[in-house]
Structure formats: structure tokens, C-alpha cells
Structure 1
Amino acid sequence: MSGEPLVLLHGVAMSGRVWDPLIPALSARYRVLAPTALGHRGGASVSRRPARIADFVDEVEQLLDEHGWSTAHLVGNSLGGWTAVELARRGRARTVCAFSPAGFWHAGGTGHADSSAEIARNVTFARLTRPLAPLTLRAPLLRRMAFRVIAEHGDRLGPAAAEGIVADLLACTVTDDLLGTGDQIADFAPLPCPITVAWSQADRIFPVAVNGAIARQRLPDATFEILPGVGHVPMIDNPDLVLHTILTCTGAAPEPGHQAPTS
């Protein structure tokens, strides 16, 4: 691998595999890592319960140390975006690109309780329908319905990728810890590096009008963007738009003639 280091951090109850559609293009420019977080399918076990956000930040910081990277470009979605912001607070980020980051709420109240309940319902639905998943997820319309909480176009996932997301969701051992956390992102200014917060316009878990508004208050110096036509996990809906956003955030010039797609 060559180029500057770039770390891709996934959301709660997912895995590093969610970044697979973007890795080939990013690897042409960067040294890319897409780790799976503690307590998630394929990740390391947690050492204390309930797990705290600091545990996830510590783990990525240790990963940076193991690779000899004092800093890296950090890209994260949801939990991963929260982790990236906290790593920037520790001085470990060159840039941060956070897609609908978690942590912008009032613990147990505005922006938190409703989001946690939405995720919990999604887990329950996945658990109840798991025996039928290999069959139902073959149909594009049913994939779109099954993933409507996190994506506008779940039908764009292939059946194998869709089954993988369900398996990740059900195998996560720290979902309840994170849904019930009292942690949140504190006010952060001035920023130690450029931070872009890219919020999904159709986010049903962290609505931009609620959680995005809190983010604007707590990160007043960050660059804010609204990504059109995508849900909470925008890599599912529009990987090209996500790629363009990352390249812009990290300062890599888009290829000549390349325009950010809008749908």
C-alpha cells in the first residue's frame, strides 16, 4: 500500500465489510484500513461491560500505534463517525469525514431515546425474520423494505451483502451497551484538523433536523453537508457520492470531469 493512511470506521452492529464497495477506489490513493469494532462480528471481545465510547476510541488509537501512524484521515459512519471525532480530539486525525455521526444527542432525551428505540425495533425485526432471510432477501423489493430504516435503496445490495448485514446485526454483543449509553459528544472548538460532517438527508435513525442540529451547535467550526437521496448508511444508497465526499474532505482532487452524483 502507498499514500497517506486512511481508516474507515463502521456503525453500530455492522462491520468493516460495509465499506467494501469503496475500498478499491480509495486504495488507489491511500493506505486503507477498515477494521471491525470491539464486540461486533469479526471484531475483538470487549474487556468491560457496559462498553463505553472510550473503549472504541482506545482500540482505534492502538491500531494507529501498531501501524506507526501518528495521525490518519478518519472516515466514519454513525458510531464510526463518533469515534473519529473523539480521535480528532486526541490529536490523531489529519482530517475527519463523519457520515451521520452518533453522539449528537442529549443522553436519554432529545435525539437519543427515539433513535435508540428505532435501532432496537430493527434488531427485533431482524431476529424474528432471520429464518426467512435467505429466501426473502433474494427479492429486490423485499430487500428495500427490510433495510428501509438504514437505506433508501436497500435493493441495491446484493443478496449476499444483505444477508451479511443481517448476520452482523444479530451477532453484535454491544448493541444494548451503546443504545443505553450516557456518553455523548461534547462541544468541540476550535478544531485541531478539518472536520466534515455529512448528514444523510433521509436519515431515519438520526434525523438531520434533530441530531444534525445538535451537531451544528457542538461543532460550530466544522463543515456541514447534507447528502441528498440517502439514508443512515449512505454507502448502501450511493457509494459514488460517499467516495466523492471522502475525497473532497481529505483534499484529494476528484478525477477530471468527475461530478458528485445526486441520487
Structure 2
Amino acid sequence: MSRTPLVLLHGVTNSADIWGSVMSALSEHHEVIAPTALGHRGGAPVESRPVEIRSFVEEVERLLDKNGWDTAHFAGNSLGGWVALELARKGRARTVCALSPAGFWTAHGTGHAASAARIAAAATLARRTRPLAPVGFHLPLVRQLTFRTIAGRGDRLTPAQALGIVDDLLGCTVTEELLATREQIASMPVSPCPITVAWSGCDRVFPQQINGRIAVDRLPQAQFETLPNVGHVPMIDDPDGVTRVILATTARSSGAVSFSNGDRVSGESGIAVVEAGDHRADANAAQAADGDVQPCRPQP
């Protein structure tokens, strides 16, 4: 039996490389593809401006068509989560797992201005310190401090991985346009497919108590979870937890998934349950609505 397709969509200024820590485990269950987005380092060049979310959605649709897939499972982080949700709206998604998705802010700036400023500041710092990075990134503390906006344990990155993230940021040609966007995710009263929104408990880019609350209002039928002790890009801090929540989501349309260690992820009655100790999915939308951000205790 052929494995169902799973498309991984990265966040703004990142590239497909950001999924490296989860690709192998996910590939045991799905045919996985991780494209680099339009205008990002390694991705297709931008042919027309301004770049809008529609541009990224249409690019992924072309990828689906090229592979002969009417639909696919999607997992996306930040910008990638937003794109995945728009693909669901267009009927192209079997399931969506959105990890701290972008787009949940208001027209008057709530949840957006501060986030854009943090990313812009990170880009400025990266530009100024890039000549020193190859030496500095050999020190775990430097890696942790450099990536503290997006991860609690940036020291877990290798020096090469850390340098790749910086080069991805500097090589992105659409950063300013995306940070200045006035677009936002419109309400989705009825979910067109099973949707999980997994928010990073220590997200400094899109804090759960701000952006997560907006998401709960706009996606009333989605399942909400908190990923404890991880930053905005949770694949850095807890790749195992990210793998589990993604597979728990895809299992909602395909039945149970078994892991090599004997754990099982089952998808029955539209509820994803992780039958393991540390990463139990509690489907607790009220947690996000109440702004219950997990205390940030980096994993050892």
C-alpha cells in the first residue's frame, strides 16, 4: 500500500532544511516532501510583486499538481502553517497540522507589529554579525543566545545548522514584504478537514496568549494543543514532540500509527490521542483561549 503524501511548509526566512530533524521519522509513515518557499534561499525566484499569501498557496498547488496529488497532508510552521490552512480552505488538504501559524492578528495590529519587529531585529543582527558567525557558532552559548527568539535550546543546533539558518534569513528576498503585510487569516467557521493547531508554549514571535486566542476565535472547529517548553520553531527544541503531533493529526484521517518503540497514535472520532507519556495530546482549546502559556523550562 502506497504511503500518503505529507508536505512540510517552513516559516518565513527559513528553508526546507529546518525540517531535517523530523524528516526521517515522518518518512516511515508518509511520502514526505519539504519544498523551499518562493523568494526564500533555495526556492523559486519571485516573478511578480507584491508577494501575497496567495502566491505561496498557488506555488504549493502547482507542486501538488506536478506530483499528481489532488490532496495531501500538510504540516506547516509560522508562514507555512498559514499557507497550509489556506490550502485546506481550497480543498487541497487531507489534514493540517499548523505549528504556531502566522496570520492570526487583527487589522489594527494586535499580534502583528511586535512580532514583525522581532524578526526584523533578528535580521539586522544577523547581517551585522555574519562575518563572525563561523567562529562564534562553535560555542553552544552563542548558538543558544543567537536563536533565543525562535528556540529555547538553540545550542542543540550544530554550528553548520546554525550558520544555515542565518544564511537562510539573509538570503530571503521577501522578508520586508511579508513583515509589512496587511493580510490575515479569515475566519473558518467550518473546518474542511481535520485541523490541529499546536502552539509553542514558549513562543516569543507569536505568543500564545495573544495570537493563540485569535486563532481559537477564527478556527472554532480546530483542535488546539500546546507544545510545552519549545520556541516558535519547535523542530529545534523537540523534534520528537513535533513528529508525534504531526502523525497524530494525519492519523485522524488514516487510522492508527505505530511507532518503533511501541507507542501508538490513534485517530478516532476526530480526536487525536498520543498514547505515550510526555507528549499526550489533550485537545484542549480552552488552554489556548485562557492564554495558559507553559513555563519555559528548556529540555535537558
* 2:257 paired residue number: 253
Matched, 1:64 2:64: yes
* 1:177 paired residue number: 177
Q: Quote how far apart the aligned CAs of 1:28 are.
A: 1.4
Which secondary structure state, in structure 2, belongs to the residue aligned with residue 126 of structure 1? helix
Q: 2:277 and 2:161 mapped to 1: Cα distance?
A: 24
Which secondary structure state, in structure 2, belongs to the residue aligned with residue 82 of structure 1? helix
Q: 2:199 and 2:126 mapped to 1: Cα distance?
A: 25
Q: Structure 1 segments of 4 or more deviating over 3 A?
A: 260-263
Matched, 1:134 2:134: yes
* 2:19 paired residue number: 19
Q: Quote how far apart the aligned CAs of 1:48 are.
A: 1.6
Matched, 1:94 2:94: yes
* 2:115 paired residue number: 115
* Further displaced range: 81-90 or 20-29: 20-29
Alignment identity in percent? 60
Which secondary structure state, in structure 1, belongs to the residue aligned with residue 257 of structure 2? coil
Which secondary structure state, in structure 2, belongs to the residue aligned with residue 48 of structure 1? coil
**CA distance 1:138–1:261, shift in 2 (3 Å):** farther
Letter in 2 for 1:189: P
Q: Quote how far apart the aligned CAs of 1:253 are.
A: 2.0
* 1:79 paired residue number: 79
Letter in 2 for 1:218: R
Q: Quote how far apart the aligned CAs of 1:45 are.
A: 0.7
1:165-188 per-residue CA deviation (whole Å, 9 max, x = no partner) reads: 000000000000100011100000
Q: Quote how far apart the aligned CAs of 1:30 are.
A: 0.7
Matches within 5 A, 1:225-244: 225-244=225-244
Q: What is the CA RMSD across the aligned residues, in angstroms?
A: 1.3
Which secondary structure state, in structure 1, belongs to the residue aligned with residue 97 of structure 2? strand
Q: Give structure 1 stretches of 5+ with no counterpart.
A: none
Matched, 1:146 2:146: yes
Q: 1:108 and 1:63 mapped to 2: Cα distance?
A: 34
* 1:221 paired residue number: 221
Q: 2:74 and 2:120 mapped to 1: Cα distance?
A: 27
Q: Quote how far apart the aligned CAs of 1:260 are.
A: 5.7
Q: 2:2 and 2:242 mapped to 1: Cα distance?
A: 22
Q: 1:187 and 1:127 mapped to 2: Cα distance?
A: 37
Q: 2:147 and 2:77 mapped to 1: Cα distance?
A: 16
Answer whether contact 1:107 1:181 (CA < 8 A) is retained: no
* 1:51 paired residue number: 51
Answer whether contact 1:2 1:29 (CA < 8 A) is retained: no
1:209-258 per-residue CA deviation (whole Å, 9 max, x = no partner) reads: 00000000000110000100000000000000000111111105242236
Letter in 1 for 2:122: N
Q: 2:121 and 2:108 mapped to 1: Cα distance?
A: 17
Q: Quote how far apart the aligned CAs of 1:47 are.
A: 1.7
Letter in 1 for 2:227: L
1:105-163 per-residue CA deviation (whole Å, 9 max, x = no partner) reads: 01451001111011100100111111100011111111000000000000010110000
Answer whether contact 1:154 1:236 (CA < 8 A) is retained: yes
Letter in 2 for 1:163: L
Matched, 1:189 2:189: yes
Letter in 2 for 1:198: A
Corresponding pairs, count: 263
1:8-46 per-residue CA deviation (whole Å, 9 max, x = no partner) reads: 000000000100111111111111100000000000011
Q: 2:204 and 2:244 mapped to 1: Cα distance?
A: 23
Answer whether contact 1:6 1:32 (CA < 8 A) is retained: yes
Answer whether contact 1:241 1:260 (CA < 8 A) is retained: no
TM-score (norm. length: structure 1): 0.97
* 2:293 paired residue number: none
Letter in 2 for 1:133: A
Q: 1:30 and 1:16 mapped to 2: Cα distance?
A: 17
1:189-221 per-residue CA deviation (whole Å, 9 max, x = no partner) reads: 211100000000000000000000000000011
